[in-house]
Amino acid sequence: MDSKPQPDKTLAAVCGLFCPACTIYIGSMEDPERLAKSAARSGRTVVDTECHGCRAEKRMAYCATCKMAACAAERGLDFCGACSEYPCAELTAFQAARPHRLELWEAQARIREVGYEQWIAEMLEHYACPACGTLNSAYDLTCRRCGHDPGSAYVARHKAEILQYLAGR
């Protein structure tokens, strides 16, 4: 990959998602065709689908109304894992709903342990293609640039859950 994002808190959602591994983020930053397909699938416009990260000013419609981000802001917290009520019912339901959220508990623990900067560096490796280094989404079963299977360590670890989810869509 030509360039990797630097540790920037806008790329780390309060819930523990890693924004550069989001298909919407990838589409918004470098693949307009991918963004257009995502917008069409969701029934939203490209403008309403575009997202620059969960803490950025430009967020997709779903992320712009995130209850967890609002809650963390109200409590003055950077991440849900710092909350005395962690994990709350809202975050637990969110985590269980889709396979790209499977590692939220691990993410929160790691952020507490090493800080978000180190966690972001680790996630850059976790979602990178082992062959070419391209950052892939949790749903890129093969690398979107070189076709390597699996597209990332995340996919290798959770392929069965991802395939099951995709089959039911």
Structural domain boundaries enclosing 52: 9-168
Mean pLDDT per 10-residue run, the chain (169 residues)?
Answer: 64 96 97 96 95 93 91 97 97 97 98 96 97 97 98 98 93
> What is the C-alpha separation between 7 and 74, in angstroms, rounded?
24
Amino acid occupying residue 147 = G
Sign of CA dihedral 122, 126, 130, 134: negative
- pTM for this one? 0.91
Is 119 inside any structural domain?
yes
Evaluate whether residue 56 is within a structural domain. yes
What would you report as the CA-atom Rg of the chain, rounded to the nearest whole angstrom? 15
Q: What was the pLDDT predicted at 4?
A: 56
Q: How many domains does the chain have?
A: 1
Position 160 in a domain: yes
Cα dihedral 16, 52, 135, 9, rounded to 10, equals -40
Residue 24 lies in a domain: yes
The number of CA neighbours under 13 Å toward the Cβ of 149 is: 1
Report if residue 2 sits inside a domain: no
Q: What pLDDT, on a 0 to 100 scale, did the predictor assign at position 142?
A: 98
Q: Does residue 40 belong to any structural domain of this protein?
A: yes
Whether 4 maps to a domain, the answer reads no
In a domain, 148, yes or no: yes
